[in-house]
Chain A
Amino acid sequence: MSRVALTVNGERHVIDVEPRCTLADALREQCAKPGTNVGCEHGVCGTCTVLLDGEPVRSCLLFAVQLEGKSIRTVEGLAPHGTLHEMQRAFMEHHALQCGYCTPGFLLLGVWCVENNPGATDEELRELVASNLCRCTGYQNIVRAIRSVLDGAK
């Protein structure tokens, strides 16, 4: 077992994990952040996307032990408890989720886009949304939801 200190949504977590424990599993099992779902564990579906030091990563493709001192943002950290982030509200308004399993990953991609590429073109937005798989919505409403936040931010 190795000890590693991660900052998750601004809170410091000191956890003991096997080296083989992925960031996804560590978040879910050790940091009480089960909101990050696991879809494939081989880095294709993007369901497990979180922000690592502000950049989107697939948390199934990182071992927790690699991330000493790093800062991670998950879906639980998007808004203080009891409130909603604009992106969360936009997803609800635009019916951008059905089963909700892929939603945390898409929310974080969307938030990253608003914070880092607010002028994203439609093409760039669709490229970004194409990073992750959704089996329920056909993607259209996800694109519209993120677009509505990008447009609102202008």
Chain B
Amino acid sequence: MTVIGKRVQRLEDGPLVTGQGRYVANLSFADQLHMRVVRAGYAHGELKAVDASIALALPGVVAVWTATDVHDVPPIEFRPTRVQGLEPYRQPILASQVVRYVGEPVAVVFAENSRLAEDAAELVTMDVSALPPRLDAEASDVEPTVLRKEYGDLDRAFKSADALVSLELSVGRHSGVPLECRGALARVNPESGILELHGATKRPHANRNLIARMLHLDPARVHLFQGHIGGGFGVRGELYPEDFLACLGAIRLGRPVKWIEDRRENLLACNQSREQRHRVTAAVDNAGHILGMQDEFFHDQGAYVRTHGARVADMTAGMLPGMYRIPAYRAIAHYRLTNKTPAATYRAPGRFEATFVMERMMDAIAKRLNMDRVEVRRLNLIAKEEMPYTRPMQVLETELILDSGDYATLLAKAQHAFGWDGVCRDVEARRAAGESVGAGLALFVEKSGLGPTDLASIELLEDGQIEVVTGAASLGQGVETVIAQICADAIGIDYKCIRVVHGRTDRIREGFGSHASRTTVMTGAAANNAALALRARILEAVQGRHDLPMEILEIRNGEVIRTDVEERVTTLADLAKTAKFEAEGEFKSTHMTYPYGAHLAVVSVDRETGGVRVLRYFVAYDIGRAINPMLVEGQIQGGVAQGIGGALYEEFLYDEIGQPLSVTLADYLIPTAKEVPPIEVLITEDAPNPSNPLGVKGAGEAGINAVGAAIASAIDDALSGDVFVTRLPVTPVQLKRELNCKIGTS
């Protein structure tokens, strides 16, 4: 009785619906101090002096640090990379000599309670002499690196083209903005002397190692702990200056340190993302084939290189060709610094941007050649027979090999399930009657299963339950349930009898975290291997003790059954009391796996106000194999909601002197239930992951990837080609301006 593929309820939910979530703000240690960061109020300036004397005089303020107090801590490292030129631009944990973005940590206050810490922080003054800020990546003269990818004969493609289609496209700055702000609770364990960081997530072991390196500690004496996490989306769980400061505070002040940021700080200082400007040209023949494509873009990294180095720009450049055959290609990515909040990965990083560019180009080609938008895409799709398909370039420093996929079938299924032809006729009729309503589509390839390896250990507990220990992390996505489902099938026990441990560096020696949609693929496979190994050990023991042949032994519902007479031999609970049963499982993968899909949308535009409403949204996604379709749908629906935010509402704006303008949730507009329609999801399993025993691919980023592109496509259609969307978010002001221009020139 398999539980894989079933829509079973989550194991995680009990504490979360009863108000027993262990979010870091809910954790405390006796005698803890509260940390509050003092942040730069200038986008760019010389930091001449910081005066904490008044703050220090406040009763209950224990310490105030500036850069001199932490001079022995190096700037924050980024992931190992072959990309050169990034080192000088790492972020110090406290600014010294120069401040480079509004919100940059300049000083830190430790006080007896959070209100007092905030009062004290207000009293810390800094002497900054303002410098002109850089606010545009293309205009910026700070360029740590340029990434180049190229294959094929682009010159020949351009020379032999029947038409060249060129676009300038840009995506606005936005980011994950989880509902839980960042926080950390650090302490030196009074018994063991080990530095503990609670509230950590995403990459527990890697983060632990980085903290140990930067604070000159033995990694075996540093452990990270995860409770519940209020959303990650790529932005939580990377190490920030505040994490190091909290740890240092705990070590040097001899008391636990609790840091909880507020929403204003979150909007100022948590990683931002997405801001790029592209100039892309495609060479096409008259039939609509893309012969070659060149894209040069400017990636606005903000003030510092963060822990991802240049990976977002790299993924944009590498994933841009998507599902299409593009015989010749060149991408030039200018990685530039500006005086804005530093940027990093946000769900489908680099790919939301890349899909927007590629799919806008497909629509532009269709328009230029007067072809159907779906036809021009179909014509250029990589065929199933061509899989595995190697794109002769590296992405994230590994070969890009599209492992499996039947793109044409997915597109056909999507159109059919959505009723694409009927919808197009319907919106056309409505337009004829005066409405501005239209349909759009966008195709995408995602990447998941970032390796290189994963490890899980598994143990039969005394009560007959199973405990799986992984190096995964929870961001709220349901990792415990999915891993339990996999192990339940592998062993033969109810998934509710399986406890999954994650986010704990002290429980497992190695781990690679949860990001890049890797957990089901990598941790799932490792856990599966561990579970199979455990099952084998259990059956071996039973075989030995009861002298029964292995072929007739099975585990069902936590009992060992002899299938010849369909009788129970023993239970796991009984077995557990006799001996220790445990196993480890590893899974290695040198290549990522590439799920793919299509987004189809219907929007309505109010030509007078420029307002856009999303009337209908549909996602078709081939996931290889869905462990829990209900959770996959949830991931997709949530992703689409965020994508709608990025397409229409969310933007980090800065004024002409670099002052951030989106510092409250009244300015940074997250979609509500009225902006997000019900999202229809079709999950297909036509292209399992060939290098994974479970056949699974990831689900985390499918929902968000193509939303910008699909909504842009639908807006163009709704306005009967009066505009061509080239910029996200599509705001009412912008649409109105373009429509007024159109009226002006017609």
Contacts and interface: CB of A to CB of B under 8 A. Distances in A.
Interface string A91-113: 11101011111111001000000
Interface stretch (B292-300, B670-678, B722-730): B670-678
Interface in B213-241: 228-231, 233
B370 to A, nearest CB: 36
Chain A CB count within 10 A is highest, among B19, B176, B630, for: B19
Interface residues of B, number: 55
B13 interface: yes
A137 B634 contact: yes
Nearest to B114: A25
A138 B640 contact: yes
Contacts of A127: 674
Contacts of A33: 19
A101 B18 contact: no
Nearest to B19: A35
Contacts of A41: 262-263
A28 B9 CA distance: 29
A135 B664 contact: no
A138 B637 contact: yes
A37 B230 contact: yes
Contacts of A42: 263, 664-666
A39 B180 contact: yes
Given A41-B262, A100-B228, A47 B676 contact: no
B16 interface: yes
B19 A36 contact: yes
A100 B262 CA distance: 19
A75 B19 CA distance: 6
A35 B20 contact: yes
Contact of A97 (B13, B115, B181, B670): B13
B695 interface: no
A135 B231 contact: yes
Contacts of B642: 135
B230 A92 contact: no
Contacts of A95: 9-10, 630-631, 633-634
A143 interface: yes
A44 B664 CA distance: 9
Interface in A29-54: 33-42, 44-45, 47
A88 B115 CA distance: 33
Given A93-B9, A101-B231, A37 B177 contact: no
A44 B665 contact: yes
A96 B176 CA distance: 20
B675 to A, nearest CB: 8
Nearest to A105: B179
A99 B18 contact: no
B263 A100 contact: no
A141 B634 CA distance: 8
A26 B387 CA distance: 60
Chain B CB count within 10 A is highest, among A74, A93, A103, for: A103
Given A136-B231, A141-B634, A103 B17 contact: yes
Interface of A is mostly: loop
Interface string A45-84: 1010000000000000000000000000011101100001
Interface stretch (B155-163, B411-419, B463-471, B475-483): B475-483
Contact of A137 (B20, B181, B475, B637): B637
B23 A92 contact: no
Interface in B1-26: 9-10, 12-21, 23, 25-26
Contact of B21 (A21, A37, A74, A130): A37
A16 to B, nearest CB: 13
Interface string B470-495: 00000111100000000000000000
Chain A CB count within 10 A is highest, among B17, B678, B703, for: B17
A100 B638 contact: no
B520 to A, nearest CB: 15
A20 interface: yes
A129 interface: yes
Contact of B180 (A98, A99, A137, A141): A99
Interface in B472-522: 475-478
Given A38-B25, A39-B179, A134-B179, A101 B17 contact: no
A84 B9 CA distance: 15
Nearest to B229: A99
A60 B676 CA distance: 26
Contacts of A21: 115
Interface in A123-143: 126-127, 129-143
A38 B21 CA distance: 12
Contacts of B673: 126, 129-130, 139, 142-143
B18 A45 contact: no
A47 B263 CA distance: 12
A143 B674 CA distance: 11
B18 A40 contact: no
B670 A133 contact: yes
B630 A84 contact: no
Given A33-B19, A99-B231, A92 B263 contact: no
B13 A39 contact: no
Interface in B676-701: 676, 678-679
Contacts of B672: 129-133, 139
A126 B677 CA distance: 10
B177 A135 contact: yes
A91 B262 CA distance: 28
A69 to B, nearest CB: 24
14 contacts: A34-B25, A95-B634, A97-B16, A97-B17, A99-B179, A101-B21, A133-B672, A135-B231, A136-B634, A138-B639, A138-B641, A139-B672, A141-B634, A142-B673
